[in-house]
Amino acid sequence: MCNRCDERAIDRRSLLALAGFGAAAASLGLDVRSVVAAEGKKSALTPDQALAALKEGNARYVSSPQACVMDLAKRRADVATSQAPWAIIVGCSDSRAAPELLFGGVGPGELFVARNAGNMVDTATMGTVEYGAEHLGSPLIVVLGHERCGAVVAACDVATKNTKLPGSIGPMVKPIVPAAMAMKGKPGDFVDNTVRESAKRTAARLAASPILSHLVKGEKLKIVAARYDLDDGKVEYLA
Ligand SMILES: [Zn+2]
């Protein structure tokens, strides 16, 4: 058990807080059950409340980065028959960028996650995200790029050196190359500029989906791009 768990009486609410959403739900004045939304309901969070919950979770991860004991059996049971994830994350497969951890220890049933190297949106990922937003009712999509992304480094090499990549890796990073071309010669770090530009372009691509744009227009959904810092653990939201 970690220090935080030792410091407080572990009633159900504090365990849920450690699982990621309880503290956010409490601070937002929301009923815990409506947030977990088992029993077939959709998340009660608005897009802005979901974004605030992710920011709060990441701040917790940065300030108190320790793996907490979660009541995983209870959490599993709560959502075994239905799910109502309150945020969708399109993230990189990078082993250092697990959304459930970097957003403060988020438990089963909370995040709907699609990951691939370079956090791109192909047909499978687009369908996954549309399903999460339209069918499961998640109010927020975060495209989460990260510092020193290997897929972005590869795309930058293609853009500057015409590097040939083996197998399916070349076609996989190809959608990142236009972002790298756009960032060539710009001030600052080429790879990091491309990480940011690619995440923003992916968010724009998602926003062009008729299903998702309809939800955005109805203020039921927000789509944002972000960058995760491998060094300090902070998630920065990109304008
Ligand atoms: Zn990556």
For ligand 1, a single-atom ion, the residues with CB < 5 A are 92, 94, 149
Q: How far is the CA of 96 from the centre of ligand 1 (A)?
A: 9
* pTM for the predicted model, two decimal places: 0.84
Instruction: Show the domains of the chain with their CATH numbers.
Output: 3-238 (3.40.1050.10)
Q: Which residue has the tokens 């930058």?
A: 156
Check: CB of residue 139 under 8 Å from CB of residue 222: yes
Compute the distance from residue 232 Cα to the ligand 1 centre, in Å: 16
The predicted structure's pLDDT at residue 94: 98
* CA atoms of 143 and 135, how far apart (whole Å): 19
Cα(115) to ligand 1 centroid in Å equals: 10
**DSSP-H helix ranges across the chain:** 3-7, 12-18, 22-27, 32-36, 47-63, 72-78, 99-102, 123-130, 150-161, 169-173, 177-183, 190-207, 210-217
Radius of gyration of the chain (CA): 18
The residue count of the chain comes to 239
- Say what the pLDDT of residue 69 is: 60
Q: Print pLDDT tens along the chain (239 aa).
A: 344 444 433 333 343 444 444 444 445 544 333 445 445 689 999 999 999 999 999 999 999 877 666 788 888 999 999 999 999 999 999 999 999 999 998 999 999 999 999 999 999 999 999 999 999 999 999 999 999 999 999 999 999 999 999 999 999 999 999 999 999 999 999 999 999 999 999 999 999 999 999 999 999 999 999 999 999 999 999 98
What pLDDT is recorded for position 67? 66
